[in-house]
Structure 1
Amino acid sequence: MNENVSFYRDTWAEINLDAIEYNVKSMVEHLGGEGTVIAVVKANAYGHGDYEVACAALEAGADMLAVAFVDEAISLREKGMKVPILVLGASRPEDVQVSIDYDITLTAISLEWVKKAEQFAKEGVLQFHIKLDTGMGRLGITEKEELDELIQFAADSSSLSVRGIFTHFAAADELESDYTDCQFAAFKKLLGGISNKEWLIHCANSAAGLRFKDRIFNTVRLGIAMYGLSPSKEMNKELPYSLQEALSLHTKIVHVKKLPKGGKVSYGATYTAQEDEWIGTLPVGYADGWLRQLKESEVIAGGKRVQIIGRICMDQCMIRLPEKMPEGTKVTLIGRQAEEYIPIDEIADRLETINYEIPCILSARVPRMFLRNKSIMEVRNPIIQSHSASKG
């Protein structure tokens, strides 16, 4: 390991910033210069690293950022991010002034919210986007009358400024569904009579941005596709350009032993060796996000797929080796090694979930190594950084 790498365990995630840049540039080119790209970096950029991904996305042509909560926006501001940041989720009206102070754009979810927000805007102007609920059933306005009243209320206020309006599709990644057509029609109906050309108007998430160029208006919120992951398995057949997966996960064998026939492995002694076997121990477990349900799944060691055996522990798991391998052998849990490849979708299938969830569940104690042109640019290790900050 590079001597400048600031972590002291043999498990780490690699984030390929070139892949992030490629995926963003590909969307920009797909739009043909006709739309703004909002890079969605909520949830620590889907587990990839918010600031580093944000920088790569902006360099690649994204125009602004989006997060889920005010705390995430403040974190980016305090790391030096100057571009517009939109908070997509519901924010407390009493947090309006801190959002103004940090130049954060909030989301208005109702007329009532806007009226309360104005009361807390003591100094400066609150910028916000209006959220319309066209069928997601989560947040937003559903009635034209309420929308028009909200817009007029903001126009009459010296402390409120509407900067955009948007909705969210519930099924844009489902090729056989016509629900997106219904939502799009509802969105256009609610927008009727609104002609402010300075507003950002957005309904396209990654799936809609990839599939429906006619439903972009002037902005695409680029989320899962920015990380090189398809919004759904169905869409893999109809992508307008290829996606490059940005995250890989690696560890090293820290111990090797020969287990005699009949020997047991891990909690519950659920695994029994059918013959003499070489067993490798890996320093990664469910506290890192490598969940217990991944027992009997495969990883890549020495360029070969090998099986996890026994129950996955909090901090460790064991693999059955085809032959004795040296301690320190690199093992790939997600990503490519030699001719073998384990994509995030494979892990999602084993866990019976969606690919979005896999990078998000990798815990903060897994260091993130950021790469450019296959060279280490930076390493983020929240455990040591937090400890250092507390000492200061």
Structure 2
Amino acid sequence: MPSPHPTTTTTTPTCSSEGASSADPPSPSRVEVDLDAVVENLSHAARAAGHGGYAVVKADAYGHGAEAVVRRLLRLAPEVCRGFCVARPEEAERLLSRLPELARDAGRVELLVLGVFPALLGEERRRELARSRARLGWVPTVGGLDDLAAWAEVAAMDRPVPLHLELDIGMRRSGFDPALLSRAGDILQSSPGLQLRGVFGHFSESEVAGSDVTAQQRRRFAEVVAAHPWLASGVVHLDNTCGLPRDGAGPGEGCAGNLGLPPERLSFRLGGGLYGLDLRRDAGAGSAGRDGEPEWPRPAMRVTTRLAALRPVRRGEGVGYNSTYRAAEDRLIGLLPIGYADGVPRAARGAEVLVGGRRRALAGTVSMDLCCVDLGRLDDEGASHHVGDTVVLLGATTPESPAPSSAPSAAVSAGEWARWSGTISYEVTCRFAQRLPRSYTSSRLPSVTAPDRSR
């Protein structure tokens, strides 16, 4: 029986091509984003925490497309999606100018800007920043006395400034040292235009399962907030993807359990987990589903390309720059029209992709626009491959190209690319969206509008 809500796909080309339709972009490589997975990941986190959270959409939603993600999540209740977080004022301005529905909902959802440093700006640029904030309604976070004093000057110009304070609970990167909170309180009290909307902290190693450091930082945060009750006058948020309750832990074992505040005063920030990225899972201590439940968080990105050419390579011949791959026997090599300018990490060693549902190793050094894959021996093993075949670099195979029963895994994860490249999965997805067209799928919406990244 067909679904009453068929899957909808829209495509966002990164460059225009006269005569090319949006359904068939000129690039054979593309990024596919499953918006249903994004919704499910945030909904699961809200159930686990017992309250709504902020969806972190900085860095263009970790490469997934912030405008499409925000537009989809705006349809959720505040008990699930309390608001959004970006890193720069420019990101907030772009979202608010392109998504009028986000601006209209400013009273219901907050758009937090996590990286605003007005103390670094000259007076005129600071005034421009204040006008932008007042006009569009984004909310800055503040982690130091100099920046708090700068916002107080802005507020004194009859431009009220709502804000969230960040506490340093051990990261030693940004946030107020607890010893300076009395001075911060004095500035807030003497500046009626400053409106404290929330307080938050940042774990330094929550991806380490059972970390004593994380437990200490959680206790430290609760102690500081309890010692300065005025901090909890707004929303309180501490947990991130790896800090959220999991593996059977109830909502009371997270931030809520330590502070004793009602759910409407609590929140969390879901960053990588919103897109199915989990540093704890990448480290081998992840969240496989229990009792038949699906894995959480569920990856939302799939990156594919197509075989552009096939060529035999004889024993002893090299492939690519500096011949870092040499054939130990006669092999069939496939050319992929995707390279490090598209996000394939040049530093990757031992990387694998899916061809016909079977894992195949990349061969040689990744070039700027191209890379090669070893398709097997020059006999019957390589005969099943053809120019135009789909190659999956990130994500799973599809029902149209299922994996053979003998395949070790029918998916390639961002965590694997991270291990092959010496980085983390967050960087992997950010890189893959540099110049590839994106398409969005959702089985629960009659239409999904993709933002135009060509402007």
TM > 0.5 fold call: yes
Please tell me whether residue 63 in structure 1 is matched to residue 82 in structure 2.
yes
What is residue 146 of structure 2 aligned with on the other side? Answer: 112
Match of 1:139 among 174, 178, 202: 174
Q: CA shift at 1:293, angstroms?
A: 2.4
Match of 1:79 among 83, 93, 98: 98
SS in 2 for 1:356: helix
For residues 341 and 90 of structure 2, the distance between their equivalents in structure 1, rounded to whole angstroms, comes to 24
Larger mean Cα displacement after TM superposition, 175-184 or 369-378: 369-378
Q: Which has the higher contact order (CA 8 A, sep 6+)?
A: 2
Structure 1 counterpart of 2:118, one-letter code: R
Match of 2:269 among 221, 224, 249: 221
What is residue 435 of structure 2 aligned with on the other side? Answer: 365
What is residue 357 of structure 2 aligned with on the other side? Answer: 303
For residues 365 and 97 of structure 1, the distance between their equivalents in structure 2, rounded to whole angstroms, comes to 33
Alpha carbons of structure 1 residues 239 and 162: separation in structure 2 relative to 1, 3 Å:
farther
Count of residues in Structure 1 that have an aligned counterpart in Structure 2: 381
Match of 2:32 among 10, 14, 39: 14
Aligned pairs for 1:302-341 (under 5 A) are 302-322=356-376, 323-324=382-383, 325-337=385-397, 338-339=402-403, 340-341=410-411
Match of 2:159 among 121, 124, 133: 124
Match of 1:163 among 179, 197, 222: 197
For residues 143 and 318 of structure 2, the distance between their equivalents in structure 1, rounded to whole angstroms, comes to 56
What is residue 266 of structure 1 aligned with on the other side? Answer: 320
Q: Deviations over 1:31-62 (max 9, x none)?
A: 33xx2311111111111111112233333431
Contact 1:166 1:201 in 2 (8 A): yes
Alpha carbons of structure 1 residues 231 and 369: separation in structure 2 relative to 1, 3 Å:
same
Q: CA shift at 1:302, angstroms?
A: 1.7
Q: CA shift at 1:172, angstroms?
A: 2.1
Larger mean Cα displacement after TM superposition, 14-23 or 171-180: 171-180
Note the residue ranges of structure 1 that are not aligned, 5 or more in a row: 387-392
After superposition, the CA RMSD in angstroms is: 2.5
Please tell me whether residue 51 in structure 1 is matched to residue 51 in structure 2.
no
Q: What is the TM-score normalised by the length of structure 1? A: 0.89
Structure 2 counterpart of 1:207, one-letter code: C
For residues 108 and 196 of structure 1, the distance between their equivalents in structure 2, rounded to whole angstroms, comes to 13
What is residue 92 of structure 1 aligned with on the other side? Answer: 118
For residues 189 and 35 of structure 2, the distance between their equivalents in structure 1, rounded to whole angstroms, comes to 41
Q: CA shift at 1:147, angstroms?
A: 1.7
Q: CA shift at 1:165, angstroms?
A: 0.8
Q: CA shift at 1:237, angstroms?
A: 5.3
For residues 346 and 208 of structure 2, the distance between their equivalents in structure 1, rounded to whole angstroms, comes to 30
Contact 2:310 2:334 in 1 (8 A): yes
